[in-house]
Amino acid sequence: MVKSYLRYEPWKTFGVITSTTSNVIYSKGGALAVAPALEEVALWDLKKGILKRKWLDINNKAEVTAIAKNPKNEDYAVGYADGSIRIWNIDQSTFSIIFNGHRGAVTALTFDKSGARLASGSKDTDLIIWDVIGEVGLFRMRGHKDQITAIRFLCKPLLGGVISEDIPSQGYLLSSSKDTLLKLWDLSTQHCMETVVAHRSEIWDFDVSKDEMLIVTGGDDAEMKLWTIDHNVLAQGLESESTLNDEDTEIKKAIKFYGNIKRECKERVITLKFHPTANILGVQGPEKYVEIFRIYSYEEIKKKLIRRKKRQKEKKQKVENSNMDIDSDLVEINASDMITSYRMVRTSAKIRSFDFLTKEDISKSGTIEILVSLTNNILELYTMGLPVKKKEKFLETADPSKLYSVDLPGHRNDIRTLALSSDDELLCSASKSTLKIWNMKTTSCLRTIDCGYALCSSFLPGDRNVIIGTKDGNLELFDLASSSQIESIKAHDGPIWSLQVRPDKLGLVTGSADSNVKFWDFDMSQDGDTTNEYRVGSRHLTLVHTRTLKMNDDILCVRYSPNQKLIAVALLDATVKVFYNDTLKFFLSLYGHKLPVLSMDISSDNKLLVTGSADKNIKIWGLDFGDCRKSIFAHQDSITSVQFVQGTHYIFTAGKDKLVKYWDGDKFENITKLDGHHGEVWALAISKRGDLLVSGSHDRSIRVWEQTDEELFLEEEREKELEELYESTLTTSLEKTTLEDNVESTSAGKQTMETLKAGERIMEALDIADDNAAAWETYAQLKERGQNPGPPPKPNPILVALGNLTGDQYVLRTIEKIRSSELEEALLVLPFTKVISLFQCLDMWAKKEWNVALTCRITFHLLKVHHDQIVANRLIKPRLESLKTNIRAALKRHKDLLGYNLAALKYIKRDWENNNTAEFFDDIPKNEEMSSESLTKRKFINLTV
């Protein structure tokens, strides 16, 4: 019999408020904060401090790296570390589109003003323009030599420099990169029309003002740079180069340097953003504040400079008694006059990103709101007053203040230790400064208590108290009912790396870096708090030191055997010493690890001891004679935790390679691996029944893995791992590596396993259609010759099962089920023989007018890709002639139908306006002349019923 195991699947993930891999976005209207949470996107209600919902694709394990908001609706584009992009809807919490085109993490995303196009930049240095409505990639642009850091769309201006958003055009795209370059791309010709060497170092972010007149860029230094956009040059486009005289060889530039702007922070810029409605610019670096700049209008700058000139004149008249003329039109406006520092929004920790709340009218409230994502897993919302204008002077407002904060549902630092209560209903997690108690069913945080730097923890008998060992050598005892620390005992002179409650529940043991193993008994102590009359005479749990076992080196882990006869001690010299618990006499010395043992555990039948070491190996020892049963290379980095499942010889291990692995301690084989964490896994906790596994990590997430009823077989797991390895190497080998480096624009797609499988499905459908067509053709030929063809050929069972479809219908249905964004890459999988068969199907679709838009799209793509082979093949010419005739006829009928429907809609619109619009005029008295004043008093009102 082949042995089977039960599979562990991800059940819950909690503890992450916001991760540091992506920016945070304020939802439209300010109701929710859209924050990255590792591979998920969390939507937080800031006022209530609760999690409303999560966006998670169960097939995706890559981290979120960029988030962008559609300006026209409630759709959000989310970029991931594997190069994929998903479009999520905030109301439905589902993704509608997946774009795959990048070969590196997506680092920049932006929508155009219509929300119909999406631009993405990546670590692979490519820019891709996506059609959100058509769900396809338009083209890929290459030119940068390093990671893309920011991108923005620019509208196509009319002649005269006027920007019109109503006239559809391809427009322009601005992009910045770590290669120090700022590039301006013409999307109509798909080429870079201008390159600006903006900074001496990397450009980390930039933004364009709402009127698209100014660009502010930020790099590694303490100065930002201000640039202006010449819309006349953009409106002329390539014509500006042809109109140059022979003597004038200088090409007009659309982006011109204007000046430098100093900021307080000396570090690099992380986020730089204009406020959407107010004249405010926010800049943030890797510090604990956001610097707010105020943008002055031209009239305000001119008045300020006139006053400056006037003061200079008065000062000079006192000295030289001379006159100076003031010409306000000749006053030069500097960048420092246009943008000046206004406020500092200071936060409690370093900032990852920020976003402004979009309000239609901020003049009424006079304040702006700033959402801040901190690097220590906190979201904060600040409000700041704008300068108030009274009697042509701006009055300063109050300093920024914090409105809301979301910090309770997560730790500020790495989760170093985990412990489950005796009934597995409560979970204790501790980090550098915080101890939290969680409800395992609801994953809600019940208690948050300040503590020292926790390294180990445990629930005490009764589950009313929790004890932790700290880096300072203290044992801190906490009462869960009062959420307070009962006692802090100076137990050791060094960090307490390990503690365990005795199997008889009457005491515990601790091991420390001071080379001592100390044994403690539980006792009840009189409360010494005499200041509180309610606590006078109360008793609480305490610890009494009973004995000490001195060792020759630092102690990293101590463990009791379940029968309490033995105690194992792991030392810094990479050995494990086993002693008798009653007499503390030496029993065994286990050596074989090359680096110290960081964790160990003893099976519930007292027969096996498993050790996990920094040398990446686990060793399974027999406790009878101390023999090493097996040494297994388990992880790619140090092993931080090992534990037996209660009542079995199954072992869970966790390592710094971000993996949790499941082992059979009898067969010495890896059962499966649990990958989901994005940082080092520090701690594990297993329920008493073994049905739940909890892991805590450097990424501040707590993940719960649940044992399912699905059986798992080792051979199937090994085959699955080989398939995953093959698929990962297959897709990279199919990448287009023959493209020349100087090609600026290419196709936007990328081969993935989904596109390969879609191509295989198309080939299978074409095979069925060809076999069906060939059988009927043979039957018809025999019938024409007068021979007995026999019974008519039987259709394929698949066609019969789907409702007696024809071969052409089946191929069309197969292609329609493929995602629009993956169709072109799936068609590249087809060999040319299948392309010829597909042309025959396309001819039939066009003739019958089945999905004309899809037919045209496939036809044009195949003609573009297989042009050379099609030209060289004479046999395909009659089929292409028939296809051309049928497509033109189908398109003409669709064009006529669209024109007829459009005319009907215009007629309905005019009829509705005539019947539902009334005009009202104020009566003009007969004796009142039609003066200019009377004309202004006349009112014209359109009321729509």
Q: Is the pLDDT of residue 934 over 90?
A: no
Contacts of 503 (CB under 8 A, 6+ apart): 560, 561, 562, 563, 564
- Judge whether 670 and 659 are in contact, CB under 8 Å: no
Block residue for tokens 């201006």: 157
Give me the pLDDT at residue 207, please.
94
Joined together, the tokens standing for residue 771 give 């076999």
27: confidence class by pLDDT, cuts 50, 70, 90: confident
Q: Mean pLDDT throughout 61-79?
A: 92
- Judge whether 693 and 684 are in contact, CB under 8 Å: yes
Query: What is the C-alpha separation between 639 and 556, in angstroms, rounded?
Result: 13
Q: Is the pLDDT of residue 322 over 60?
A: no
What DSSP designation does 554 have? -
Q: Is the pLDDT of residue 531 over 50?
A: no
Give me the pLDDT at residue 733, please.
66
Q: Mean pLDDT throughout 768-797?
A: 84
- Judge whether 654 and 681 are in contact, CB under 8 Å: yes
Joined together, the tokens standing for residue 11 give 């059940």
First to last CA, the chain: 79
- Judge whether 430 and 448 are in contact, CB under 8 Å: no
Residue 842 CA to its chain's centroid (Å)? 40
Number of separate helices (H) and strands (E) present in the chain: 14, 61
Query: What is the C-alpha separation between 61 and 80, in angstroms, rounded?
Result: 9
Least confident window among 4-13, 131-140, 234-243, 899-908: 234-243
The one-letter amino acid at 469: G
Q: Mean pLDDT throughout 60-78?
A: 92
Which CATH homologous superfamily contains domain 416-526+540-722?
A: YVTN repeat-like/Quinoprotein amine dehydrogenase (2.130.10.10)
Q: Is the pLDDT of residue 312 over 80?
A: no
Q: Is the pLDDT of residue 444 over 80?
A: yes
- Collapsing DSSP to helix, strand or coil, 728 comes out as helix
Give me the pLDDT at residue 95, please.
87
Angle at 102 between CA 100 and CA 105, to 5 degrees: 110
Task: Decide: residue 131, CB within 10 A, 0-12 exposed, 13-18 middle, 19+ buried.
Answer: middle
Joined together, the tokens standing for residue 352 give 């990852």
Longest dimension (CA), the chain: 123
Query: What is the C-alpha separation between 823 and 857, in angstroms, rounded?
Result: 10
> What is the radius of gyration, based on Cα positions, of the chain?
36
Joined together, the tokens standing for residue 184 give 């301006």
Query: What is the C-alpha separation between 159 and 298, in angstroms, rounded?
Result: 23
Q: Is the pLDDT of residue 709 over 60?
A: yes
Q: For 711-831, where are the alpha helices, taking DSSP H only?
A: 714-733, 753-784, 797-801, 807-816, 823-827
Mean pLDDT for all residues in the chain? 86
Separation in Å, CA 511 to CA 144, 337, 557, 620: 55, 64, 6, 22
Give me the pLDDT at residue 319, please.
66
The string of pLDDT tens digits covering residues 725-768 is: 877 777 666 665 444 456 777 888 888 888 888 999 999 999 99
- Judge whether 835 and 858 are in contact, CB under 8 Å: no
Give me the pLDDT at residue 158, please.
63
DSSP element (H, E) containing 118:
strand 117-122
Query: What is the C-alpha separation between 534 and 581, in angstroms, rounded?
Result: 41
For the chain, give the number of residues. Answer: 945
The string of pLDDT tens digits covering residues 82-104 is: 999 999 998 888 888 899 989 99
Joined together, the tokens standing for residue 810 give 């089946």
The string of pLDDT tens digits covering residues 281-306 is: 999 999 999 999 998 877 777 777 77
Give me the pLDDT at residue 630, please.
95
Q: What percent of the chain has pLDDT over 90?
A: 59
Q: Is the pLDDT of residue 241 over 60?
A: no
Joined together, the tokens standing for residue 338 give 């246009």
- Judge whether 469 and 478 are in contact, CB under 8 Å: no
Q: How many Cα atoms sit within 13 Å of 533 on the Cβ side? A: 0
Give me the pLDDT at residue 328, please.
43
DSSP 621-657: EETTT--EEEEEE--SS-EEEEEEPTTSSEEEEEETT
The one-letter amino acid at 114: S
Query: What is the C-alpha separation between 844 and 850, in angstroms, rounded?
Result: 8
Separation in Å, CA 519 to CA 523, 578, 588: 13, 15, 20
- Judge whether 427 and 685 are in contact, CB under 8 Å: yes
Give me the pLDDT at residue 533, please.
40
DSSP element (H, E) containing 341:
strand 339-346
Give me the pLDDT at residue 417, please.
96
Joined together, the tokens standing for residue 783 give 């019938």
Other beta carbons less than 10 A from residue 736's beta carbon: 11
pTM of the model: 0.86
- Judge whether 269 and 224 are in contact, CB under 8 Å: yes
Give me the pLDDT at residue 30, please.
67
Q: Is the pLDDT of residue 237 over 90?
A: no
Block residue for tokens 């006239």: 167
923: confidence class by pLDDT, cuts 50, 70, 90: low
- Judge whether 417 and 696 are in contact, CB under 8 Å: yes
